[in-house]
Amino acid sequence: MKDILCKIIHHAPLKAGYWTLTLDAKEIASQAQPGQFVHIRIPSLENTALRRPFSIFGATDGKLKILYKTVGRGTDKLNALKTGDTLSVIGPLGKGFPLTLKGVPLLVAGGYGVAPLCFLAEKLPRKGYAFIGARTADDILCSELLQYMGWTVYTTTQDGSMGETGLVTLPLDRQINQLKLKNLTFDLFACGPDGMLKAVGQRAIEHNMLGWLSLDKHMVCGVGACLACIQKLRKEDGAEWTGRVCRDGPIFESREIIW
């Protein structure tokens, strides 16, 4: 884990409300694993919580990429920064996704949750299927990028403005059934809203497969010191414990999480 001052190399809109930010961050990029995150100090944010957590979207050639949605004070201020400005970044933080597979990888993303899954899609030893769901087409991100990487992509929107109408579990369940008919095993990886994570986790347990879920909790320190991000968890022997999403996660296997 490093705390470094990084220069902004590129900062551009991706889609309505979503931006990509590329930083010159050799020390962090060289260690980054999919599913890990960085904690970025937002300049001119005056209160005590000065940093904001963002998943690592990409890390190549010393460059660190994040994909973010403008939702409030911090991301608004981040948005105003220009190429050449510098940012203090701590990372890589947390525990990432495993990169070994037992079967066909199935990625399930909601909104900016696609960011760590794109990085994962690049690093997994084989391609599989990606399912991207959102309320409307404006929140469907990176489908072309995943297709370009060789993944088969399904999109769903609740208002029918892009892909199939309905929840992302519709094409996911169809794919799971097809794999089961062929007696194939699969590994699930998901990042998005809690409802989606719960649904994916239930499928992992029901089909006796592994389901790796990225939890999104409000964070303050990002390094396990403040207890802002606590989550009830279960050990393999069934014992319950309270973990910190920033330090013990953000990736957990579905059986570990007590919702």
Ligand X SMILES: Cc1cc2nc3c(=O)[nH]c(=O)nc-3n(C[C@H](O)[C@H](O)[C@H](O)COP(=O)(O)OP(=O)(O)OC[C@H]3O[C@@H](n4cnc5c(N)ncnc54)[C@H](O)[C@@H]3O)c2cc1C
Q: Which residues bind ligand X (CB under 6 A)?
A: 37, 52-55, 66-69, 71-75, 112, 115, 216-219, 250
CB of 30 to ligand FES, least distance (A): 24
Tell me, residue by residue from 212 to 241, as one string, x for binding to ligand FES by CB under 6 A and - for no binding: -------xxxx-xxxxxx------------
Query: Nearest to ligand X by Cβ — which residue?
Result: 72
Q: Rounded distance, CA 74 to CA 87, Å?
A: 13
CB nearer to ligand X: pick between 51 and 203: 51
Which of ligand FES, ligand X, none is residue 225 near (CB under 5 to 8 Å by kind)? ligand FES
* Residues near 176 by beta carbon (within 8 Å), at least 6 away in sequence: 106, 186, 203, 207
CB nearer to ligand X: pick between 35 and 171: 35
* Residues near 206 by beta carbon (within 8 Å), at least 6 away in sequence: none
Which of ligand FES, ligand X, none is residue 184 near (CB under 5 to 8 Å by kind)? none
Residue 244 makes contact with ligand FES by CB under 6 A: yes
Question: How many other β-carbons are positioned within 10 Å of the β-carbon of residue 120?
Answer: 26
Query: Exposed, middle or buried by CB within 10 Å (0-12, 13-18, 19+), for 108?
Result: buried
Using omega within 30 degrees of 0 as the cis cutoff, is the peptide bond preceding 43 cis? Answer: no
Using CB under 6 A, list all residues that contact ligand FES: 219-222, 224-229, 244, 246
